[in-house]
Structure 1
Amino acid sequence: MTTPDPGASPLLTAEGLYVAFPARRRGGSAARPVRAVDGVDLTIGAGEIVALVGESGCGKSTLARALLGLVRPASGRVAFAGRPLVYTPRALKAYRRRVQLVLQDPGGSLNPRHTVYEAVAEGLRIHGCAGDERAAVAGALARAELRPPERFFGRYPYELSGGQRQRVVIAGALVLEPEVIVADEPVASLDASVRGEILALLLRLRAELGLSALVVTHDLGLAWNIADRVAVMYLGRIVECGTAEEVLLSPRHPYTRALLSVLPESPLPPVVLTGEPPDPSRIPPGCRFHARCQVLASGEAERAGVDLRCRSEDPGMVRGPGVACHWA
């Protein structure tokens, strides 16, 4: 089994990544940009699976798109194998052969008019790959555990189960022999009985091919089952990062503790977060979580003498393992 080497250089890196989108104008006033990704550092090592977790709207998918080169950051950089990503069509095409995307909804990402063979072969044709196309497609389907692969060549998406469609999507990524897969909620649309099979497949691909993966999810249970490291994102920033055991067994940030508290077997007292995350175009001063923070609301932060800092002083960014919290 291939395991990540903690001393090795990272394969895929985000450094100070900032992605903003223009906001709608209100009452004729100048619109403030929406800071979807607000200064993120993240690394993925060779053979490593990193889970990026957080609630909807926190910037997870935008960060994933930036790592894929689909969104160009306003500042900061993405680097692959130590080399900064170049945003020319030719360079991006070569890069995307090495870093592939697996989408959440296989029903939406597969063309209903294309057979399984055409869906998997599409990447080979786009990238002009030489060699035996039929053998490459069969090999990718077999690695995605669709066997015998020839039996699936002529089938259409509507003839497949949800799990089989997701395996076709994974095969479409594998056919290009990438080094990294970015999987955006890869099992969210699947039945519980199938989720474990897809997660086991990703782990097997890591073991056999040395494949690295960034798994974007809101499901901390999934992160526990598959990830080497976990990065927790809130309102455009990573607020806690560490090994899966560190983050999920001994969470330090109140937001992480709240997410974990609602899991069925969690030893933590249940926390119900009040209100909605702040408007990302009007991020409040201090800790961006302070308006919803159970530690601040309960008086624990005041007893620790950090309540004023929580409301007025930015705790900074997580660079590598750590937590962005005055109380922690």
Structure 2
Amino acid sequence: MTTAPTPLLSAQGLHVTFPGRHGTAPARAVDGVELDIRAGEIVALVGESGCGKTTLARSLLGLVPPASGRVSFGGKPLEYSSRALKAYRRRVQLVLQDPSGSLNPRHTVYDAVAEGLRIHGYAGDERATVAQALSRAGLRPPERFFLRYPHELSGGQRQRVVIAGALVLEPELIVADEPVASLDASVRGEILALLLRLRTELGLSALVVTHDLGLAWNIADRVAVMYLGRIVETGDVEQVLTAPRHPYTQALLSVLPDAPGDPVVLTGEPPDPSRIPTGCRFHARCQILASGEAERAGVAEACRSRELKVLDGGGGAQVACHWARAAV
């Protein structure tokens, strides 16, 4: 029996909490997450705003220490000393949603891309390394962009500069938080194609954080759907997005332009993470419970009162839903 290769990046029993306001209970922003990302793999982390996906991404980057659980990279637990985190961030880089906010308007493109090299005391040929990163990000000839400022670039070009700034340190993994949300449709496709090309050419792994299941379909090998601090469905992207089992995933997919049937309109907002409901954390908004289908399946009481186990991070098809499990 062969053992599975060690994941490149792994979250194990991860919990991230924030202090409550005015003496209220702590907010459980990440509430027990297991997630593995393998070398050369693109994983999409999907969910509504406020579900905890950005906090999870920031914790995986070492920006937010967990209350419990751990993050491992290459099989070794992440250490939180300044020196260890600096070394880690050469290997794992962040690409943010808004390129305008990521770039200092007073810095040229060259300085923006070279910044990481200077922080890490790079001793090689800085000019050649910056040029290579810009070229890999699709800005060619790179020298034409060296002395430009962010306001002189299009939105797509600015995002490519941000990606070049991540690539310049030759990381093994990038965490892209809504990498195309601020771009128009034509440019979105170009940036997604770039990320796929970088995976092919450089063996780069990626965690792509998004609210858009259509984006996940176009770029990811695997998808993890997050709700109220926990992953509620995961598996190969085609399997999850063609035959979603969790009612929350079904609702997210139903509003895509080409989705069959009527959109599922979820009532209310996601609950406050300081007051997570008993039972299934989605039950108060669940269309399956509201329609009586869960009652007919004999699981309605379990939905309201029995908590589901945390899904493991291995990547096989899994769902945290009493009704979906009863239907198997």
Correspondences of 1:230-245 after superposition (within 5 Å): 230-245=223-238
Runs of 5+ consecutive residues of structure 1 not aligned to the other structure: 1-5
- Mapped partners of 2:35, 2:201: distance in 1: 25
- Mapped partners of 2:36, 2:262: distance in 1: 32
Q: Which residue of 2 aligns with 1:36?
A: 29
Pairwise CA distance, 1:268? 4.5
Equivalent in 3, 18, 21 of residue 18 of structure 2:
21
- Mapped partners of 1:82, 1:12: distance in 2: 8
- Mapped partners of 1:7, 1:143: distance in 2: 31
Equivalent in 170, 180, 196 of residue 177 of structure 1:
170
Pairwise CA distance, 1:266? 1.1
Q: Which residue of 2 aligns with 1:72?
A: 65
Pairwise CA distance, 1:276? 1.1
Q: Which residue of 1 aligns with 2:7?
A: 10
Matched, 1:324 2:317: no
Pairwise CA distance, 1:264? 1.1
Matched, 1:254 2:247: yes
Q: Which residue of 2 aligns with 1:146?
A: 139
Q: Which residue of 1 aligns with 2:187?
A: 194
Q: Which residue of 2 aligns with 1:3?
A: none
Pairwise CA distance, 1:7? 4.1
* CA offset digits 1:169-224 (Å, max 9, x no partner): 00000000000000000000001110000000000000000000000000000000
TM-score when scaled to structure 1?
Answer: 0.96
- Mapped partners of 1:276, 1:174: distance in 2: 37
C-alpha RMSD of the superposition? 0.9
Which one-letter code corresponds to 2:17 in the other structure?
Answer: A
Which one-letter code corresponds to 1:44 in the other structure?
Answer: I
Q: Which residue of 1 aligns with 2:42?
A: 49
* Structure 2 residue matching 1:136: 3-state secondary structure: helix
| 8 Å CA contact retained: 1:61, 1:216 | yes
Which one-letter code corresponds to 1:324 in the other structure?
Answer: A
* Structure 1 residue matching 2:44: 3-state secondary structure: strand
Equivalent in 266, 272, 278 of residue 271 of structure 2:
278
* CA offset digits 1:45-78 (Å, max 9, x no partner): 0000000000000001000000000000000000
- Mapped partners of 2:106, 2:127: distance in 1: 19
4+ runs deviating over 6 angstroms: none
Runs of 5+ consecutive residues of structure 2 not aligned to the other structure: none
- Mapped partners of 2:69, 2:264: distance in 1: 35
* CA offset digits 1:63-96 (Å, max 9, x no partner): 0000000000000000000000000000000000
Which one-letter code corresponds to 2:319 in the other structure?
Answer: V
- Mapped partners of 2:5, 2:128: distance in 1: 34
* CA offset digits 1:97-150 (Å, max 9, x no partner): 000000000000100000000000000000011100000000000000000000
Q: Matched residue pairs, number?
A: 319
- Mapped partners of 1:145, 1:323: distance in 2: 39
- Mapped partners of 1:94, 1:123: distance in 2: 12
Which one-letter code corresponds to 1:215 in the other structure?
Answer: V
Pairwise CA distance, 1:233? 0.2
Equivalent in 94, 97, 103 of residue 101 of structure 1:
94
Q: Which residue of 2 aligns with 1:165?
A: 158
* Structure 2 residue matching 1:62: 3-state secondary structure: helix
Matched, 1:305 2:298: yes
| 8 Å CA contact retained: 1:116, 1:157 | yes
| 8 Å CA contact retained: 1:37, 1:237 | yes
| 8 Å CA contact retained: 1:66, 1:72 | yes
| 8 Å CA contact retained: 1:260, 1:268 | no
Deviating more after overlay: 194-203 vs 259-268: 259-268
TM-score when scaled to structure 2?
Answer: 0.96
- Mapped partners of 2:269, 2:158: distance in 1: 34
| 8 Å CA contact retained: 1:257, 1:268 | no
* Structure 1 residue matching 2:191: 3-state secondary structure: helix
Q: Which residue of 1 aligns with 2:82?
A: 89
Pairwise CA distance, 1:8? 2.8
- Mapped partners of 1:268, 1:83: distance in 2: 46
